[in-house]
Amino acid sequence: MNIFSAIKTTARRIFRVQTRSYEGSGYNFTRWFSPRIINLTNPANKLATNETIFSAVSKLSNSMATLPLKLYKEFNPVMNGSSDILMNSPNPNMTSFDFFRTLEVHRNTEGNGYALKLYDEFEQVESLWILDPLKVRPMIEANSRELWYEIDGDKGKTLVHNHDMIHVKHIHTTGYKGLSPIDVLKNTLEFDQEVRTFSLDQMDGAKYSFILKYASNLSPDKKKEIIDNFRQFYSENGGVLIQEAGVEIDKLQSQFIDTKVFQAEKVTRSRVANVYNMPVHMLGETEGQSFSSMEQMSLEFAQNTMLPIVRQYEQEMNRKLLTREERLRGLYFKFNVNALLRADTTTRGEFYFKGIRSGWFKPNEVRAFEELPPVDGGDQLFVSGDLYPIEQAGKEVRAGNEKEPTAS
């Protein structure tokens, strides 16, 4: 047995302890799960400094967290211990929504989201704990070529086998660590910040200008005296001016914010949308877009943006939360992406109406889509022609052919 095999055995023994017991002889993981470790501070600071990044990450994470998740066996929903954890409470501090949203926020800020599996005394998954991605590093063991994760804890570094870690990530080249989208956007964010700083400096240093018109010519000393008196009166009276007879006061129009600033913001939104692989209208850029085209772009968001992300989560959970025997029995986790494509009531009604009358939807399947309880007789297919069960279609035809014509 090599050193990494020994570490693997030890690591599994450490994590498979009694319920919520993170401390024992030779190990202490209690401080791993303190709020300052679970809650990532650095990405939060990045999100707080740019509303475009915040908007993109918020839409992606909320979309991921709102997708219904179920465990299926041959298209039928089932339940087991792992599905109960994922669908209700991955750990004592989080709901399923908060878990997936936080994991997706980590993925979209640092490029990687990590959740550690903990086991009960029966070696069953008891909980999933989100870790600070800045404290986790993927690495390959030289002999076995297996993927391990080095975790930087308060008591030193610890190795965890890849099967004990849920890892979702952005694209990467060599290695197993995803690239951070915010690092990719570094130049764009710096440019955007410089433009904002310049605009704020303009506004802070902006001064109102006036034209004073007198009916007669004034000497230089008299002009200076009038200007000083005007400035003092304007300052001491909160900007209120009194226009005397024979004097005209015209205010010069000043443009404190250059229109090019808004063009720079459009460029920023476009670049952020490109990096996060999402339609730019999702970030508030709707210029030149019609209602029909935006509906198509929403479909594009579901198909081109969310589907690859969803597929990554599904494969990671199927591989690490289900045993090989369970997968061979037909068990698999699946998100319902159709939740992102729900149309208006009229369109859905027409779609369901055609589906039921054409024999490719069962009534209870439609009721399940709309989160309604099943009804008796709703688990069979129907076809049009007064809607009789599809199994009777041939019988009706034969019965019609057997009828003899009667003489009038």
Q: 240, 260, 280 — which closes off a domain?
A: 260
Query: What is the pLDDT, as a whole number, of residue 230?
Result: 72
pLDDT in tens, 290-299: 555 556 777 7
b (16+ CB within 10 A) / e for 125-161: bbbbbbbbbebbbbeebeeeeebbbebeeeeeebebb
| In a domain? residue 201 | yes
| In a domain? residue 224 | yes
Same domain for 153 and 204?
Answer: no
Same domain for 215 and 174?
Answer: no
The rounded distance, in Å, linking the Cα atoms of 283 and 262 is 14
Same domain for 127 and 215?
Answer: no
Same domain for 177 and 56?
Answer: yes
Q: 209, 225, 260 — which closes off a domain?
A: 260
pLDDT in tens, 96-118: 999 999 999 999 999 999 999 99
The number of folded domains in the chain is 3
Which amino acid, 249?
A: I
pLDDT at 356 over 60: yes
Residue 355: which H helix or E strand, with range? helix 345-357
Task: Look up the pTM and report it.
Answer: 0.68
Nearest to 68 by CA among 313, 347, 278: 313
Q: Residue 104: give the domain boundaries.
A: 3-186
Same domain for 374 and 253?
Answer: no
| In a domain? residue 330 | no
The rounded distance, in Å, linking the Cα atoms of 374 and 77 is 14
pLDDT in tens, 297-354: 777 888 899 999 999 999 999 999 999 999 999 999 999 887 777 666 777 788 888 8
Strands (E), 47-120: 69-73, 76-78, 112-119
Same domain for 220 and 234?
Answer: yes
pLDDT in tens, 164-209: 999 999 998 877 899 999 988 888 777 666 655 655 555 554 555 6
Helix axes 51-66, 260-275, angle to 10 degrees: 30
Same domain for 196 and 172?
Answer: no
> Average per-residue pLDDT in the chain?
77
